[in-house]
Amino acid sequence: MNPAAPRKGFVSKPKALNCPNCGSAIELRALGAAAGVICSYCSSTIDATNPQLQIIGTWKAAMTIEPAIPLGSRGKLKGVLWEAIGFQQRGIEVEGTNYFWREYVLWNPYQGFRYLSEYDNHWNFVTPLQVLPAPSMSGLVYANESYRSFQTARAYTWFVIGEFPWMVQVGEAVDTADYVKPPKMLSSETTENEVAWSQGEYIPGTEIWQAFQLKTPCPPPIGVYSNQPSPYVGRVRSSWLFYGAMCALLLCLMVLFATLAPNKMVLDKNYVVNPATTVEKSFVSDLFTLDGRNDNVEVRITADISNQWVYFSMALINEETGQAYDFGREVSFYSGSDSDGSWTEGGKTDDVLLPNIPGGKYYLRIEPETDPARAGGLKPRIPFRVRIVRGRPFYFRYFLGMFLLLIPPIWTSIRAGSFESKRWSESDPSGASSSNASSEDDE
């Protein structure tokens, strides 16, 4: 007769409920936890907290929607088993067009109520929040994270079915405000009597389909959603870090090869051009050896000239193989002074880099040519100096390489920026409300 150890309670399924309006049987999936129940046959909203099952209202819906997750389905999300017990479609009006989204009520007897909201096949797992977020410059701060204001709107309920923790009505209106920090979102819903806060976390549709084992094909999401995480966030940063590392690598290579470059002077000789001569103007240099299998050769000519040009037709000839590299270079220098002051044009030195020259014994054939029409002030003979260096280092191409390597991180940054533009294109411009939200009066 005495109560012994603490009793273990067992909550069994309530007996079948009959709609007080039309008499049809109503299944109570939340075993009585839900305050508002909609009869799926006659659409009456029933106050399930009242033992008399009072009817709150009946309504004629302008639309009937089939929930993607059938009511009564169970799925495991966040390590907890949930049952979908209620569904509603809500909408806002922006410039004459209605935008609808859908919400599911999930229930677990120990964890209570959660919600799944879906828009354009973007899904969010929503938890009611008891903590008040604190306002900040651009939105809110909660749990040390800053959320940016995204949108405010007045939302109307268009269609309801199943069970809800409150007595939901078609035509019910709330003022909503959304703040995002992808993948999370904070939302407030304001009615006359209270403000309710909730936190949403973006969840891909494929995860929902897998959790609830839905047989229908999972539709792809459309566009970018307010708190959809960007696939580029990590990639932008890592591609720029990699670029930095590559630049460092290229600089090291440049310095390395510059140090290893032979830079060997193989010929440094002075010659003379005699413009007045009538005999053969061309001549050849002494033999010199170019080391290595393949490398470049720099030919530098410095001519002591003034207000004239000298053209050198040259050929670098391999004495053994008979291979010649034919080229021509000009040295020209002019100077004078006028009303603006003194000026110069050109230079007394010219250098050219001959690439990809095999090693071997070489000589240089030079055929100089001067301007025949030039009169006055000409030196009859023009001394010039020829310097040949084997194996010069390359510099410019490394900077060109660093420029080419910029393309991928810039491309990634552009795509990331475009993703964010698409996200924010759906938001309220500079905080303005997208529909007529009535101002709240604090009495």
Partner 1 sequence: MSKFYMAYSMLVAGGLAVSSLTGWSPFKPYEKVDGVPKSVRNNPGAYRSHYAGHARYFGGK
Partner 2 sequence: MSTRNDICSNCGAEIRFRWSGAVQTTCEYCKSILVRNDINLALVGKAADLPIDISPIQIGTEGIFNDKPFQVIGRIVYRYDLGTWNEWHLYFSDGSNGWLSDAQSEYAVSFANSFTDAPPAEADLHRGLTMAQHSVPLYLTVITDAMYETTEGELPFTSYDKEMCRFADFRTNDGRFGTVDYSETPPLLFLGQFVAFDSLKLKNLKEFEGWPNA
- Site residues (CB under 8 A) for partner 1? 235, 238-239, 241-242, 246, 249-250, 253-254, 257, 261, 280, 282-284, 293-296, 307, 309, 311, 313-317, 319, 322-328, 330, 332, 334, 336, 338, 343, 345-346, 352-357, 363, 365, 367, 369, 371, 391, 393-394, 397-398, 401, 404-405, 408-409, 412
Which listed range, 127-135, 146-154, 231-239, 422-430, lies at the site for partner 2 (CB under 8 A)? Answer: 127-135
* Alpha-carbon distance values, 247 to 251, 357, 385 (Å): 6, 29, 39
Angle between helices 407-425 and 233-260 (to 10 degrees): 170
Q: Is 164 helix (H, G, I), strand (E, B) or coil?
A: strand
What is the chain's alpha carbon radius of gyration, rounded to the nearest angstrom? 42
Maximum distance among all Cα pairs of the chain, rounded to whole angstroms: 142
Q: Which residue stretch of 10-18, 85-93, 240-248, 333-341 sits at the interface with partner 2 (rule: CB under 8 A)?
A: 10-18
Interacting residues with partner 2 between 42 and 71 (CB under 8 A) = 48-49, 51
Rule CB under 8 A: choose which of 66, 194, 280, 338 binds partner 2.
Answer: 194
Q: From the list 30, 168, 297, 357, which residue makes contact with partner 2 (rule: CB under 8 A)?
A: 30
3-state secondary structure of 420: helix
How far apart, in whole angstroms, are the C-alpha atoms of residue 45 and residue 39? 7
In the complex, the smallest distance separating the C-beta of residue 165 from partner 2, rounded to whole angstroms, is 5
Q: Any idea of the CA torsion for 325, 330, 331, 332, to the nearest 10 degrees?
A: 180
Q: Which does 301 bind (CB under 5 to 8 A by kind): partner 2, partner 1, none?
A: none
For partner 2, which is the closer residue by CB, 32 or 393? 32
d(C-alpha 85, C-alpha 37), whole Å: 10
If DSSP codes are grouped into helix, strand and coil, which group holds residue 313? strand
What part of residues 148-187 is at the interface with partner 2 (CB under 8 A)?
165-167
125/232 with CB nearer partner 2: 125
- Whose Cβ is closer to partner 1: residue 128's or residue 347's? 347
Residues 286 and 363 sit within 8 Å (Cβ to Cβ): yes
Q: Closest CB to partner 2 among 111 and 421?
A: 111
Show the CA angle centred on residue 317, arms to residues 315 and 323, nearest 5°: 110
| CB closer to partner 2, 30 vs 299 | 30
For residues 203 and 124, what is the distance between their CA atoms, to the nearest angstrom? 5
Is the distance from CB of 435 to CB of 185 less than 8 angstroms?
no
List the single partner that 352 binds among partner 2, partner 1, none, CB under 5 to 8 Å by kind. partner 1
Residue with tokens 């129940």: 37
CB of 389 to partner 1, least distance (A): 12
Binding site for partner 2 (CB under 8 A): 1-3, 6-14, 30-33, 35, 48-49, 51, 81, 108-113, 128, 130-134, 142, 165-167, 193-195, 442-443
